[in-house]
Amino acid sequence: MNVPNLLTILRIFFVPLLVAALVEQQVAIRIRGVLITNDWLALAIFWCAALTDLLDGYLARRWRQTTTIGTLLDPIADKLLVSSALIALVQVGAVPAWMVVLIVGREFAVSGLRAIAAAEGYTIKASDLGKTKMVSQVAAISCLLLSIRHPELVKPAMALMWGVVFFSILSAASYFRKFWRRIDERVKKRRRRELLRVERQRKLMELRQSSGSGAGLGGDRI
């Protein structure tokens, strides 16, 4: 297993740590006299996980270590990280549940599209809209984490969340368009092959029938 894939797996292991730091509000760590509360701890874990997202893609391209498993595992790790963070934020009352349901539902829908596409033999790669959506999610979640103990950041955090909702819907529409275009092309090609096969079978049957009729006529003359 190469380094980019290891970073992707590491991002998945950050998920339970992030949820624990958010839900357990009494957690606090003192380092050299500085008290680090659970919201700052969760923010540090989230940023470390987001950093692995940047590094794995960069290293995979730079070292030419892009693999099929990495291409499929990377978006799954991103969705686990973002979904778990948002659900935990709902638990602590930092974000409306309907927003999270919409965003997480979009993640499941796109994951389903990727799975179906992979079964059909092709991979749906992340679009520019999907990458923009991921950046907006990181910014929004970071601001929400800080707003837990800093009420003045609630309005900026909610403004960022509206941006996440907008980019989520827009990127989902883009993925669905790509998916249906590829499926439509595949169905058309399959129908053409079926029509050609039926046509060849029909011509072969006509040829056999004409050959049999010719043989019968020859027997009558004798």
pLDDT (tens digit, 9 = 90+) per residue, 114-151?
777 777 666 666 666 667 778 889 999 999 998 988 88
Tell me which residue of 85, 82, 89, 123 sits closest to 106, measured CA to CA: 82
Task: Give the burial string for 124-155 (b: 16+ CB within 10 Å, else e).
Answer: bebeebbeebbebbbbbbbbbbbbbeeeebbe
Mean pLDDT for 63-84 is: 82
Q: What is the DSSP string of the chain?
A: --HHHHHHHHHHHHHHHHHHHHH-TT-EEEETTEEEEHHHHHHHHHHHHHHHHHHHHHHHHHTT---HHHHHHHHHHHHHHHHHHHHHHHHTTSS-HHHHHHHHHHHHHHHHHHHHHHHTT---PPPHHHHHHHHHHHHHHHHHHHHTT-GGGHHHHHHHHHHHHHHHHHHHHHHHHHHHHHHHHHHHHHHHHHHHHHHHHHHHHHHHHHHHHHHHHHHHH-
User: Residue 222: what pLDDT?
Assistant: 45
> Looking at the predicted structure, is the pLDDT value of residue 214 above 70?
no
User: Residue 142: what pLDDT?
Assistant: 92
> Looking at the predicted structure, is the pLDDT value of residue 104 above 80?
yes
CATH number attached to the domain at 3-183 = 1.20.120.1760
User: Residue 130: what pLDDT?
Assistant: 66
Tell me which residue of 82, 67, 70 sits closest to 165, measured CA to CA: 82
Is residue 168 exposed (0-12), middle (13-18) or buried (19+ Cβ within 10 Å)?
buried
pLDDT (tens digit, 9 = 90+) per residue, 20-29?
888 876 666 7
Q: What is the mean pLDDT of the chain?
A: 81
> Looking at the predicted structure, is the pLDDT value of residue 210 above 70?
yes
> Looking at the predicted structure, is the pLDDT value of residue 8 above 80?
yes
> Looking at the predicted structure, is the pLDDT value of residue 204 above 80?
yes
> Looking at the predicted structure, is the pLDDT value of residue 58 above 60?
yes
Q: What angle do CA 15, 19, 22 make, to 5 degrees?
A: 140
Most confident of 34-43, 63-72, 87-96: 87-96
> Looking at the predicted structure, is the pLDDT value of residue 211 above 80?
no
Mean pLDDT for 65-92 is: 84
